[in-house]
Amino acid sequence: MRLPLRLLLPALAAAPALRAQSPAPAPAAALPRVHVVATGGTIASTNYYGGEQGKVGIEALLKAMPALDTVARTSAQQFANVASTAVTPAMWVQLARAIADTLRARPDLAGVVVTHGTDTMEETAYFLDLTVADPRPVVVTGAMRPADGVGIDGPANLMHALRVAASPAARGRGAMLLMNDGILAARDATKANAVRPDAFEAPARGLLGVADPEGVVFHRLPQRAPLFDLSRVAELPRVDVVFAYPGADGAAVDALVAAGAKGLVVAGVGRGGTPAAMGTAVDRALRQGVVVVSGTRTGAGSVPVGRGVRTREGAEVPATVGSGDLNVQKARVLLMLALTTTNDPRAVARIFAEHQ
Ligand code: DAS
């Protein structure tokens, strides 16, 4: 006979052998300290499926989280409460500075968690990975389902993100994403599904680790390279992405250059290809000093980085830089930061090579 679950649950709770298996909670004073910086997103939204959307502040999200007092002692900061489509490059700079300042001022912290909308989380996380120079981890998380939804993933993601940020094993691994129990390197992670809770993947390199119920486990080290110093960056240069497809001409490239783009990333077909007319516009942009990175619209695989120059009639002329295995949105972040240090395509190619 199978007993209904509601009858089994009280019996299980009372079983001494099973209760003995759960670890004794650490005394609160012994728990690591984690600072949470909230920016918004679905994790902090209600009424997502209709009507007027509501917003939930980070203090309320933490208060509602079951068993928070067994994981970490938290402090929290409401940096913003916006959808991630409203997050701008200027906000990346402010966020990176805010996190670096907090880590500098608070040697007691084990790490930082950032809550963020999932749509552009990968860009923000990669920007933080490239700019926050501290061995303590920055763990970015969010939710695919709203705070008042059914079967919600936000509390679990936040709980596991705190566990990762509190873990000594997370030190030196840069910025990471924690989604759906998986730990992904900021460099490698991408949102690969618009709806499902298992939306994030790291196509080329796989998960960094997992946040299992028994503990946080890392499988490998992430790729890291010299970081960028934001101390003298007033504004990030404009870099746009342009998509290649059959029949694409040079109109988008020319318009973006006219709008002031200092760099372009081409989401090329296959290994960075473009129709001829678009390629001619890219050559025009290169001659005007725009740095162009050639990526792939496929979502995986690589475009060789190259040297950023090619030889024409015995002389070296600027050429596109391949994105390696960075996706186009990550290549855009790296190019924006690279352009704060140089606009020589050879130097940009060296930077892209270091980040492979
Ligand atoms: N609301 C969207 C965003 O802010 C989606 C999400 O968070 O999952 O990115």
Residues 219-268 have pLDDT tens digits of 999 999 999 999 999 999 999 999 999 999 999 999 999 999 999 999 99
pLDDT tens for residues 116-161? 999 999 999 999 999 999 999 999 999 999 999 999 999 999 999 9
**Do residues 210 and 258 both lie within one domain?**
no
**Do residues 201 and 298 both lie within one domain?**
no
Query: Does the residue 137 lie in any domain?
Result: yes
Average pLDDT, the chain: 92
Of 185, 218, 251, the residue that ends a domain is 218
Supply 65's token pair.
Answer: 């989280």
Supply 246's token pair.
Answer: 């059959």
Q: Does position 1 have pLDDT exceeding 60, yes or no?
A: no
pLDDT of residue 84: 97
Using DSSP, state whether 124 is helix, strand or coil: helix
> Residue 289 C-alpha to ligand 1 middle, in angstroms?
36
Closest atom of ligand 1 to CA, residue 41 = 4
Which residues span the domain enclosing 142?
5-218
Name the E strands within 28-72.
33-38, 45-46, 54-55
Which of the listed residues 39, 42, 82 should we mutate to test ligand 1's pocket, taking the one with most ligand atoms within 8 A of CB? Answer: 42
User: Which residue has its alpha carbon closest to ligand 1 atom 7?
Assistant: 117
pLDDT of residue 26: 64
Q: What amino acid occupies position 131?
A: T
pTM of the model: 0.92
Query: The domain that contains 191 carries what CATH number?
Result: 3.40.50.1170
pLDDT of residue 231: 95
**Do residues 204 and 247 both lie within one domain?**
no
Confidence of residue 47 (pLDDT cuts 50, 70, 90): confident
**Do residues 303 and 181 both lie within one domain?**
no
**Do residues 175 and 244 both lie within one domain?**
no
- Bridge partner list, 141: 115
pLDDT of residue 11: 36
Backbone angles phi, psi at 268, to 5 degrees: -80, 165
pLDDT tens for residues 87-110? 999 999 999 999 999 999 999 999
Going 343 to 347 to 349 to 351, the CA torsion angle's sign is negative
**Do residues 44 and 105 both lie within one domain?**
yes
| Ligand 1 pocket, Cβ-based, cut-off 6 angstroms | 41-42, 83-84, 117-119, 142, 144
Residues 6+ apart with CB under 8 A from 6: none
Name the E strands within the chain.
33-38, 45-46, 54-55, 73-78, 109-115, 138-141, 175-179, 182-185, 190-191, 200-201, 209-212, 215-218, 239-243, 263-268, 291-296, 309-312, 315-318, 321-322
